Amino acid sequence: MAEYLIDQRDLEFVVFEQFGFDALLKSEKYSDFSEDILRDTITQAVKFAGEVLAPTNDEADKFGCRLVDGKVELPPSFQKAYNAYCENGWAAPGQSAELGGMGLPLILAIIAQEVGIAASPSFMFFPGLTVGAAHLVEAFGQETLRDLVVPKMYTGEWTGTMCLTEPQAGTAVGDLKTVAVPLAEGEESTAPFEGLQEYKITGNKIFISAGDHELTDNIMHLVLARVEGDPVGIKGISLFLVPKYRFDKDGKILGSNDVACTAVEHKMGIHASPTCSLSFGDEGECRGFLIGEQRRGIHCMFQMMNEARIACGVQGVSLGNVAFQRALSYAKERVQGTKITERDPNAERVTILQHPDVRRNLMICKAYGEGIRALLYQAAFHADFAENHSDEALRTKYHDRLELLTPICKAYASDKGFKMTELAIQVHGGYGYIQEYGVEQCMRDVKIASIYEGTNGIQALDLLGRKMRLKEGGLFMAWLQDTNEFIEENAEHTALKKEFKLVEEAKNALAEVSFHFMMSGKEDPERAMMGATPFLEMFGHVEVSRLLLEQAVLADQKLQALFTEKNVAEADRAAFIKESVDARFYDGKVKTAQFFAHHILPEVYSLASGIKADDRSALDIDFM
Task: Return d(Cα 479, Cα 295) in angstroms, integer.
Answer: 34
Task: Return d(Cα 474, Cα 479) in angstroms, integer.
Answer: 9
N-terminal to C-terminal alpha carbon distance within the chain: 46
What pLDDT sits at residue 135? 96
Query: Helix, strand or coil for residue 267?
Result: coil
What pLDDT sits at residue 172? 87
Architecture of domain 8-136 in this structure: Orthogonal Bundle (1.10)
Percentage of the residues of the chain whose pLDDT score is greater than 70: 100
Cβ proximity of 347 and 339 under 8 Å: yes
Domain boundaries, the chain: 8-136, 159-296, 472-617
Run of H or E including 221: strand 219-227
In this structure, what DSSP letter does residue 353 have?
A: G
Nearest to 326 by CA among 456, 420, 224: 420
Task: Return d(Cα 234, Cα 213) in angstroms, integer.
Answer: 30
Largest separation between any pair of C-alpha atoms in the chain: 93
Instruction: Residue 7: count other Cβ atoms within 10 Å of its Cβ.
Output: 18
Which residue among the candidates 114, 440, 453, 543 is catalytic per the annotation?
453
Task: Return d(Cα 580, Cα 584) in angstroms, integer.
Answer: 6
What pLDDT sits at residue 102? 95
Nearest to 222 by CA among 151, 129, 315, 121: 129
Q: Which pTM does this prediction carry? A: 0.96
Give Cα 129 to chain centroid, integer Å: 12
Spatial CB neighbours of 46, under 8 Å, sequence gap ≥ 6? 6, 8, 115
What pLDDT sits at residue 1? 67
Q: Are strands 253-256 and 179-182 parallel, antiparallel or unpaired?
A: unpaired
As separate numbers, helices (DSSP H) first and strands (DSSP E) second, the chain gives: 21, 12
Residues of the chain with pLDDT below 70 are: 1
| Residue 228: half-sphere exposure toward Cβ, Cα within 13 Å | 10
Task: Return d(Cα 46, Cα 118) in angstroms, integer.
Answer: 10
Cβ proximity of 549 and 593 under 8 Å: yes
Phi, psi of 163 (to 5 degrees): -120, 95
CA atoms 275, 277, 283, 285: torsion sign: positive
Query: Helix, strand or coil for residue 291?
Result: strand
- DSSP alpha helix (H) spans, 143-294: 143-154
Catalogue the E-assigned strands of 105-218.
159-163, 179-182, 198-209
Task: Return d(Cα 12, Cα 108) in angstroms, integer.
Answer: 11
Query: Of the CATH numbers 1.10.10.10, 2.40.110.20, 3.30.70.1450, 2.60.40.10, which one belongs to the domain with range 159-296?
Result: 2.40.110.20
Query: Which residues is 201 bridged to in the sheet?
Result: 180
Task: Return d(Cα 241, Cα 141) in angstroms, integer.
Answer: 9
Give Cα 121 to chain centroid, integer Å: 12
Q: Are strands 245-247 and 253-256 parallel, antiparallel or unpaired?
A: antiparallel
Query: For residue 350, is it left (φ>0), alpha (ψ between -120 and 50) or beta?
Result: beta
Angstrom CA distances, 123 to 60, 259, 272, 274, stand at: 8, 23, 7, 10
Cβ proximity of 439 and 341 under 8 Å: no
Task: Return d(Cα 391, Cα 416) in angstroms, integer.
Answer: 35
Report pLDDT digits (tens) over 149-160: 999 999 999 999
Give Cα 609 to chain centroid, integer Å: 30
Query: Which residues is 66 bridged to in the sheet?
Result: 73
Report pLDDT digits (tens) over 315-347: 999 999 999 999 999 999 999 999 999 999 899
Burial of 304 by CB count in 10 Å (0-12 exposed, 13-18 middle, 19+ buried)? buried
Reply yes or no on whether 504 is catalytic.
no
